[in-house]
Amino acid sequence: CKALGVTLDGMVDGYAGKVKFCYVDIQEAPMTAQKFGVRSVPTVVVFKNGAPTGSLLGAAPRPKLEELINTAL
């Protein structure tokens, strides 16, 4: 979802040095999507030390995304 991408791109500077933002195209990496239970797009999965700590489905607003990220920090 382009709207979610714009929101996440706008958050990168605020989390510099603390969070790494990555995008995965589930059509190009279906095994990765399956491994993490991604069944709809967009899905945001937050990891800490290589393990998923939470996720959101759909184009969530920035405050909700920040809450999800901050719980993993």
pLDDT digits (tens, 9 = 90+) for 29-73: 999 999 999 989 999 999 999 999 999 999 999 999 999 999 999
Provide the 8-state DSSP code for 17: T
Whole-number Å distance between alpha carbons of 6 and 71: 22
What pLDDT, on the 0 to 100 scale, is given for residue 70? 97
pLDDT-derived band at 2, boundaries 50, 70, 90: confident
Q: Diameter of the chain by CA atoms?
A: 31
Whole-number Å distance between alpha carbons of 13 and 58: 23
- Residue 44: other Cβ atoms inside 10 A: 20
Q: Are 28 and 41 in contact (CB under 8 A)?
A: no
